Structures are given as C-alpha cells and as structure tokens.
Amino acid sequence: MKSKYKSIIYSIGVLLLAVGILNKLCWLYVCTIYTEFEECKVAYLSLFPKCLQNAFLLTVIEISLLAVATIIFSESKKAAYLKKISKILMIISLILCGWSVFSLM
C-alpha cells in the first residue's frame, strides 16, 4: 500500500465497516419493535429505496462491503499501518461478514 494513500484507503475501510454496523443496528432496532419476522422484514425493507427492497440483494451488498473492509484492514495490518487497530477492525468485519453469510442460509 502506497504511503500517501494509506489514510484514504483506511478511511474507506472504516466507512464500509460503519455502513455494515449501521445496517445491522437498523435490523436489530426494527426487530425490537415488531414481534413477527414478516413484519420485521417488511419494516426493514421499507427503510430502503424501492430498487433495493430485496433482502437477498441487501445481504449480498452488505457481505461485499464487509469483505472489502476486511481486505483493507488486512492489508493495512500487513503494511504495519495502525497494526493493532487494523487487526481489531478486521476481526469485527469478519464477524459481521460471517453473520451476514449465515443469514443467507
């Protein structure tokens, strides 16, 4: 990773991870309001534009974002750029990505 782009690429990784975390928090918040799964699903999907109101598509997008974040943090860790923080964020990204993959099953 080139030194002048490290902080920009790292910021993109943090942003992608933040989007993944916010998406999970939205789902958890909606699930606290409704008791039935179908009601939760409809309420959650209503938060997105019409073209993105597909649970499978949203999950695939989230998996992609978290996978890219994981790769960015892994490469940052290898380049010794914020090594400990990169490792922690990489693990968080991997856990959330695994959670999303599991939710597809």
Angle at 61 between CA 42 and CA 92, to 5 degrees: 100
d(CA 39, CA 44) in angstroms, rounded, equals 8
60-65 contacts, C-beta under 8 A, 24 or more apart: 60/104, 62/19, 62/20, 62/23, 62/100, 63/97, 63/100, 63/101, 63/104, 65/16, 65/19, 65/20
Write down the pTM of the prediction: 0.90
Place of tokens 């090594």: 83
Provide the percentage of residues in the chain whose pLDDT is more than 70. Answer: 98
- Place 81 in a pLDDT band, splitting at 50, 70 and 90: confident
